[in-house]
């Protein structure tokens, strides 16, 4: 018999049985009477292999076995905690004094022993949990983790740990535990770091915790709480027993409990007795199940680890029943013949071993020797210490030489003397030296030194001088301006490949964080300071969600990654269409922007404005309320205006498909060989025929009157298919319910056979009518609204119900659909012409628990839109601006409780990976060479004729922009809504929403040629929305400038101005300006960084946090004053052009590094203020102005710019101005509608503000 809890030591012991010690131990097979110290008893009836009783066969690991080993302990208290290690062949036990021991294999060979606390009076060991790196032990006031071999990993104490009783792993698996007890606070502990990460208020005092689908916690009053493993909130509670719960177990979907109730024994007195039953609860349906009777009074219960519905129940006297939850009347009875009552009861994870501890300090191991007793299914091998070899005998004498003794041979561990010299340890390090410059400012007194605080630290703050100066502890998403400027960026994102293999997210009872509603936070720098890059590590662009109608983001992503729809939109936008409020043009602009963004975040403001401007959208409930006029947080909930998001997006899908079909036919499309080949169309095809083949299901609806049998027919063409589900069938006893497939539901939706009430022209009255569709053809893109109601939710939750591929046959007016094995068989036979469709993506509705609001995400298989087909599917989750890779199983797994698809999009498989870029070679550029503004009103025609034009159109014969062409750009904008600020609890200002801006004027100038600096675009834009502030001081726009009734300028629509810039962008033109990031964002366009030259970036020095304004640079560098009075975008673009030319001159002369330093010093001398009245020619220092010498000219040439005297610069070397190179391009990514992210760039400097934003 192994020695249990005797002679504790922190080392590994090997014990030989029996051991003659004062506290005696006996072998399991030794009868107590055979030993003089028999009063503490052995393991009676413990013959190895002896079976018990009759009855039905027990489950694996229980039947045919008896006590096969044991540990007897004399002179010590009984064990307080027992547990089988699920990862090693070890049995762990703990006692009342906080001591832990482990026993190896079926022989229960002593393995390790250690203490978890110094003071033995602190209380017993309460519970064990197991991690791959060691064992976690819970005491009353301590949580201890040690390696299985004994060394300590960490030991946590906390002032709030007063009476701990139980613990459980959380939703993060084995990396985090929740600790609770008979106290008001629970603790969340990071197992890897060994630290308390959170304190959570405890709803009740808990004594037992088990982890199944949820954390199941038993209270001291007989109650069971079902705790959410993520939020630690109580989801459900049951009063399991009247008085107390003695034992509980949970596994998968079941909880079993045994406890006791009060029993009256006389007037005014009561006692508690065990209940003669075991309670069972179903976690999947959150309901209780019929209790299992146990007449001997249930004391302990365990669920079998391998047989999900099998339980083992034991009484305190040792009677055990093996019971099936589904059939509680059939039991298998066993008896443990013990002299004392049972104290603890556990079953191994393999199901092949069971251990019992009694109050007489004995531990007995049960199992079936014939089947092999094993604690784990696949356990790690246990390593025992090698026996020490005796030291060789040395003939030690006075005359023996020391060389005969020798030195030990070192191996494995490096000697201290061999450590490299560059290893630095803080231990024993001298204190850091105080800065001598600081000491010189201090005054000496009796108690030390004192002086002005120049350290930058606040009172009572201490600087860790040995810590790394670069901070890498800032956890994203921080504001970019709050990051350590030189510190490494910590990537706390989950590894994408690991995530792609995890298909369990959608099976959780509540939406996991990756499906959560996201919210953009604003700093004083606005949206540019938000770290979008934290949410998207892919090359696929996300969309911002802080603007009204952004619920459509998910639908836009699905359409963008459907090649035929994307090709259709881009082919249309490349034509000469200038129709205002054209949805197909705006879709093309969005799709082009998403392609160019390369992982940066964009927004679709212009498209949403167009939807709002269409009168047809009002009655369809397509428009959301202003997200910020009602300030209802997406995380705190509130009333959802209008229809639910999934209904609204289905309505929007019909609206977009209907309107884009009409708009595509309004102008001759740029059809290519790709469409003509795939869709079998003539050259050139008619627009109507092309759209019919792309998007329209052609059908004829036949209407039959059930009374007079009259049949009428009408067109039944549709761009969107609404699914129709079969009615629920009445269940027939012992009959297998027929399986409903997606193909059947799709067929019913296409053919649409239904009955309705309607007017019969023949009967001249309302009659019952029967409608049936005769299908003539199906399009290349199948757009499907799922139309899910409550009765259909479980159908979609069926694993594998939605196929990634379907096959369609249209024959004889009927629609046939096949999937899975049926599709494979039809393709092999080849008897019919079958068209195979691939699932491109879907809009998925995510329903959060109230009071949170539901929202939409997109699941897209981007593999079908890649230029070349990859080897596997590449499903991605687009949750607004969060984009991440998911597995196919995760994408196609739905949850009836919170995750269901709203819109599906299938495309013919032949069109996969067929993105067509021919539209770029056939781009219509006529808009650049003509005026498209509407004629002025009659009363203003004289005023317009007298007005001198501020621009000259490009000459189509001599001025054709293309790659290498540089143009100057500047915009002015007005405010539609003011920013919203609130004061938080700390008294600090917090921005809820930045100022809402709209484009008011766009100016583009020539950057080379005879007319260098002359504008060829100077558009004033009519604005339909009410303007909050014209920002005249900064924009130069007054109240009447943008009103067609009063403006003296020729106004154009936003689309006209946008199309001009978009055309230049796709011609490869490089844009030059100052602070272009904000211009592109307000314009809602994305320009790749290779096509941007930003003088705000060029004239920015990383050592200075300030970004220089255009007016200050013009005064200091060009010696010119601009923006005097009101702003003018043409003047600003010309100033940026001159700054860029001056920069090139400095670079060619090799003086740029020195000159940029001088520029900052000169700007500082005038206070970074262009209106400073000093000369600005010198640098302040030493109380006077030091005159700066001009740059010496090369060859004695002295020049002036535009008649204004300024500093002379060397003559430039021959250089081509039209080459942008990499000037002003910091980091990677691009400029435009994105709010940042993707790894770098600069903050948008304000046009007038002298203070810019720091570099990221």
| Residue 816, SS3 per DSSP | strand
Residue 1132 annotated as binding site: yes
Q: What end-to-end distance do the CA atoms of the chain give, in Å?
A: 68
List b or e across 628-655, with b for residues whose CB sees 16 or more CB atoms inside 10 angstroms.
eeeebebeeeeeeeeeebbebbbbbbbb
What is the rounded CA–CA span in Å between residue 1122 and residue 1171? 10
How far does CA 375 lie from the centroid of its chain? Answer: 39
Q: Taking CA 1212 as the corner, what is the angle to CA 1206 and CA 1214, rounded to the nearest 5 degrees?
A: 155
H helices of 964-1090, in order, are 1032-1035, 1054-1066, 1076-1083
3-class SS string, 327-353: EEEEEEEEECCCCCCEEEEEECCCCCC
Rounded alpha-carbon distances, angstroms, from residue 80 to 94, 186, 248: 6, 22, 16
Determine which helix (DSSP H) or strand (DSSP E) holds 81, and give its type and residue range: strand 81-84
| Conformation bin of residue 562: beta by default, left when phi > 0, alpha when psi is -120 to 50 | beta
198: which strand partners? 188
Tell me if 621 is assigned to a ligand binding site: no
Question: DSSP labels for 431-470?
Answer: PPPPPHHHHTT-EEETTEEE----SSPPTT----TTS-SS
Cα–Cα distances (Å) from 795 to 525, 742, 788, in that order, read: 48, 9, 10
- Omega of the bond leading into 684 within 30 degrees of 0 (cis): yes
User: How many Å is the maximal CA-CA distance in the chain?
Assistant: 136
Nearest CA among 561, 554, 555 for reference residue 865: 561
Residues 684, 688, 694: CA angle, nearest 5 degrees: 90
Distance of CA 1095 to the CA centre of its chain: 36
- Helix or strand (DSSP H, E) at 674: helix 673-679
Q: In this structure, what DSSP letter does residue 22 have?
A: S
Helix or strand (DSSP H, E) at 185: strand 185-190
Q: Is 1148 exposed, middle or buried (0-12, 13-18, 19+ CB in 10 A)?
A: middle
SS3 label, residue 142: coil
Listed residue (1053, 1051, 1069, 1052) closest to 1061, CA to CA? 1069
User: What does the alpha-carbon distance between residue 326 and residue 721 come to, in Å, rounded to a whole number?
Assistant: 44
970 marked as part of a ligand binding site? yes
Q: How far is CA 221 from CA 204, 216, 239, 262, 420, in A?
A: 9, 15, 8, 11, 61
Contact 320, 336 (CB under 8 A): yes
Distance CA 998, CA 971 (A): 10
- Residue closest to 1246 by CA, chosen among 1096, 1030, 1105: 1096
- Is 892 exposed, middle or buried, given 0-12, 13-18 or 19+ CB atoms closer than 10 A? buried
Query: What does the radius of gyration of the chain's CA atoms come to, in whole angstroms?
Result: 40
Query: Can you tell me the distance from the alpha carbon of 259 to that of 1165, in angstroms, rounded to the nearest whole number?
Result: 82
| Residue 76: other Cβ atoms inside 10 A | 16
Q: Give binding residues as ranges.
A: 970, 972, 1079, 1132
Q: Give binding residues for a divalent metal cation as ranges.
A: 970, 972, 1079, 1132
């Amino acid at each position: 018999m192994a020695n249990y809890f005797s002679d504790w030591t922190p080392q590994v012991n090997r014990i030989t049985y029996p051991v003659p010690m004062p506290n005696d131990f006996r072998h399991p097979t030794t009868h107590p009477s055979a030993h003089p110290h028999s009063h503490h008893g052995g393991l009676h009836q413990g013959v190895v292999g002896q079976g018990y009783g009759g009855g039905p066969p027990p489950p694996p690991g229980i039947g045919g076995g008896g006590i096969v080993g044991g540990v007897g302990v004399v002179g010590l208290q009984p064990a307080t905690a027992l547990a089988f290690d699920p990862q090693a062949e070890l049995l762990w036990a703990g006692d009342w004094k906080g001591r832990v021991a482990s026993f190896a294999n079926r022989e229960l060979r002593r393995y390790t022993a250690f203490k978890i606390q110094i003071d033995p009076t602190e209380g017993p060991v309460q519970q064990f949990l197991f991690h791959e790196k060691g064992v976690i032990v819970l005491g009353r006031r301590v949580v201890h983790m040690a390696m299985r071999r004994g060394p300590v990993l960490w030991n946590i104490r906390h002032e709030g740990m007063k009476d701990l009783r139980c613990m459980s792993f959380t939703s993060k698996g084995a990396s985090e535990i929740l600790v609770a007890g008979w106290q008001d606070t629970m603790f969340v502990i990071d197992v890897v770091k060994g630290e308390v990460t959170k304190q959570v208020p405890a709803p009740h005092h808990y004594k037992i915790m088990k982890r199944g689908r949820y954390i199941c916690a038993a209270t001291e009053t007989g109650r069971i709480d079902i705790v959410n493993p993520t939020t630690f909130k109580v989801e459900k509670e049951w009063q399991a027993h009247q008085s107390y719960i003695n034992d509980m177990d949970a596994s998968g979907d079941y909880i079993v409990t045994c406890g006791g109730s009060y029993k009256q024994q006389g007037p005014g007195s009561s006692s508690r007795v065990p209940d003669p039953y075991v309670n069972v609860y179903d976690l999947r349906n959150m309901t209780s199940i019929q209790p299992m009777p146990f007449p001997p009074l249930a004391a302990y219960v365990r669920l079998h680890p391998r047989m999900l519905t099998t339980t083992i129940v034991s009484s305190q006297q040792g009677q055990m029943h093996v019971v099936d939850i589904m059939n509680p009347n059939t039991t298998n009875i066993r008896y443990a013949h013990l002299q004392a009552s049972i104290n603890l009861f556990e079953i191994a994870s393999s199901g092949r071993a069971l251990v019992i501890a009694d109050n007489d300090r004995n531990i007995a191991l049960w199992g079936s020797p014939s089947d092999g007793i094993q604690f784990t299914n696949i356990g790690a091998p246990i390593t025992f210490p090698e026996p020490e070899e005796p030291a060789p005998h040395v003939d030690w004498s006075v005359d023996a030489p020391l060389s005969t003794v020798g030195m030990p041979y070192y191996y494995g561990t490096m000697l201290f003397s061999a450590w490299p010299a560059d290893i630095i340890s803080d231990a024993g390090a001298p204190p850091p030296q105080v800065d001598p410059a600081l000491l010189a400012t201090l005054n000496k007194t009796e108690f030390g030194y004192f002086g002005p605080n120049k350290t930058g630290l606040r009172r009572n703050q201490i600087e860790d001088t040995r810590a790394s100066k670069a901070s890498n502890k800032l956890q994203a998403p921080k504001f970019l301006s709050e990051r350590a400027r030189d510190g490494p960026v910590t990537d706390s994102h989950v590894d994408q490949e690991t995530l792609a293999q995890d298909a369990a997210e959608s099976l959780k009872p509540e939406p996991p964080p990756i499906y959560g509603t996201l919210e953009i936070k604003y700093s004083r720098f606005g949206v540019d300071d938000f770290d979008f890059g934290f949410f998207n590590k892919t090359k696929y662009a996300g969309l911002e969600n802080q603007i009204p109608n952004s619920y459509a983001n998910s639908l836009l992503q699905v359409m963008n990654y459907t090649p035929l729809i994307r090709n259709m939109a881009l082919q249309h936008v490349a034509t000469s269409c200038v129709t205002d409020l054209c949805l197909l043009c705006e879709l093309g602009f969005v799709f082009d922007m998403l392609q160019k963004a390369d992982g940066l975040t964009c927004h679709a403001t212009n498209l949403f404005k167009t939807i709002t401007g269409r009168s047809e959208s009002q009655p369809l409930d397509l428009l959301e309320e202003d997200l910020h006029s009602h300030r209802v947080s997406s995380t705190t909930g509130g009333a959802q205006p209008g229809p639910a998001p999934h209904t609204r997006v289905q309505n929007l899908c019909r609206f977009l498909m209907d309107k884009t079909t009409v708009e595509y036919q309004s102008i001759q499309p740029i059809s290519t060989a790709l469409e003509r080949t795939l869709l079998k169309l003539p050259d050139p095809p008619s627009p109507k025929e092309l759209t019919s083949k792309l998007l329209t299901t052609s059908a004829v609806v036949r209407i039959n009157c059930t009374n007079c049998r009259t049949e009428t027919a009408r067109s039944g063409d549709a761009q969107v298919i609404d699914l129709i589900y079969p009615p629920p069938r009445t269940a027939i006893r012992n009959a297998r319910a027929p399986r409903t497939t997606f193909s059947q539901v799709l067929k019913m939706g296409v053919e649409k056979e239904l009955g309705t009430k309607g007017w019969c022209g023949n009967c001249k009255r309302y009659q019952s009518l029967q409608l049936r569709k005769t299908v003539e053809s199906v399009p290349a893109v199948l757009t499907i609204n799922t139309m899910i109601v409550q009765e259909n939710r479980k159908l979609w939750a069926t694993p594998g119900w939605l196929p990634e591929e379907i096959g369609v046959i249209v024959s004889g007016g009927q629609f046939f659909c096949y999937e899975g094995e049926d599709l494979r068989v039809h393709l092999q036979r080849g008897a019919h012409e079958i068209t195979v469709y691939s699932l491109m993506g879907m809009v998925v509705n995510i329903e959060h628990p109230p009071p949170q609001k539901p929202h939409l995400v997109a699941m897209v298989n981007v593999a079908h839109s890649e230029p070349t087909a990859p080897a596997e599917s590449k499903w991605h989750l687009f949750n607004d601006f969060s984009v991440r890779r998911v597995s196919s199983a995760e994408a196609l797994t739905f949850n009836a409780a919170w995750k269901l698809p709203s819109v599906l999009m299938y495309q013919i498989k032949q069109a996969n990976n067929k993105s067509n870029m021919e539209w770029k070679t056939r781009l219509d550029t006529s808009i650049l060479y003509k005026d498209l503004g509407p004629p002025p009103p009659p009363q203003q025609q004289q005023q317009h004729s007298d007005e001198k034009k501020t621009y000259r159109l490009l000459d189509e014969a001599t001025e054709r922009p293309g790659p290498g062409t540089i143009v100057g750009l500047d915009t002015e904008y007005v405010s539609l809504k003011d920013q919203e600020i609130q004061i938080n609890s700390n008294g600090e200002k917090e921005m809820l929403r930045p100022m809402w801006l709209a484009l008011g004027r766009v100016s583009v100038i020539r950057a080379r040629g005879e007319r260098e600096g002359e504008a060829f675009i100077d558009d004033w834009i009519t604005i339909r929305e009410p303007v909050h502030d014209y920002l005249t001081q900064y924009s130069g726009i007054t109240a009447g400038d943008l009103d067609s009734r009063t403006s003296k300028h020729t106004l154009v629509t936003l689309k006209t101005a946008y199309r001009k810039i978009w055309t230049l962008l796709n011609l490869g033109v490089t844009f030059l300006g100052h602070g272009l990031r904000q211009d592109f964002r307000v314009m809602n366009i994305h320009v790749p960084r290779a096509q941007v030259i930003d003088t705000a970036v060029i004239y920015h020095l990383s050592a200075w946090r300030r970004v220089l304004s255009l007016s200050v640079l013009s005064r200091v560098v060009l010696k010119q004053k601009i923006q005097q009075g009101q702003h003018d975008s043409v003047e600003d673009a010309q100033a940026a052009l001159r700054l860029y030319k001056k920069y090139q001159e400095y670079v060619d002369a090799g003086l740029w590094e020195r000159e940029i330093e001088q520029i900052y010093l000169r700007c500082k001398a005038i206070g970074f203020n262009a209106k400073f009245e000093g000369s600005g020619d010198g640098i302040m220092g030493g109380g006077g102005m030091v005159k700066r010498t001009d740059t010496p000219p090369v060859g004695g040439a002295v020049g002036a710019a535009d008649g204004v005297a300024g500093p002379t610069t060397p003559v430039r070397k021959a250089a081509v101005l039209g080459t942008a190179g990499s000037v002003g391009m910091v980091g990677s990514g691009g400029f435009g509608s994105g709010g940042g992210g993707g790894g770098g760039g600069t903050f948008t400097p304000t046009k007038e503000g002298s203070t810019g934003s720091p570099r990221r």
